Amino acid sequence: MANTLWVNPGGDGQSVFTDYHFFSRYEKDRHTYLMGLTTPTAFKGDTAAIVRLAAPTMLWVLDWTASRFKVMPQVPDPTAPDGWVCLADDYELADVALDNSGSVPLYRISGTYIYARRKAPDSVLSEATFPVPPCIDGTGVIRTVPADFIVRGIKEDTTTTINFPSTQGMGK
């Protein structure tokens, strides 16, 4: 599915589109820690304390790669969306490869953008969106995870039971 392989019919070896791959990872840090108690005897029967050292924070780590034959690909703009702050933008340029004719260069560049949310939400998935590459019109594309797609009923005991609703994956 790499559109870098879709070469112009005109025979000049140039890609029709830039091939983009985006991977989003959302990290919510509750700043909650487990600490062993230093008392020689248990405190109220407990031997550990769970403490919160700060308010929750959330990061969005966006890894991406763009590649294209014959011309260098355009780089996605790291400007932060509303409610987010760009903490870092890092870039990695891969060595130039050649097509099977040995004459058309393939340019690749990858990057990582790290964004911080000004206020961490209660649910990470309420803020998560599926990325859409610049070459795709995202109109009408469902990009968020609906609340009814979050599976409830996972529990662990002597046997693990997972109760998936019959409508899982149907958006009902």
Where residue 13 falls (left for φ over 0; alpha for ψ -120 to 50; beta otherwise) is: left
**Of 142, 140, 138, 146, nearest in space to 169 by CA:** 146
Greater confidence (119 vs 139) lies with 119
pLDDT in tens, 60-73: 999 999 998 888 88
pLDDT at residue number 169: 45
Question: Per-domain residue ranges for the chain?
Answer: 3-129
Label residue 143 by pLDDT band (50, 70, 90).
confident
pLDDT at residue number 10: 59
pTM above 0.75, yes or no: no
Rounded distance, CA 155 to CA 74, Å?
46
In the predicted structure, residue 43 carries a pLDDT above the cut 50: yes
DSSP per-residue codes, 131-166: ---TTS--TT---B--GGGSPP-EE-SSS-EE---T
- Is the separation of the CB atoms in 68 and 4 below 8 Å? yes
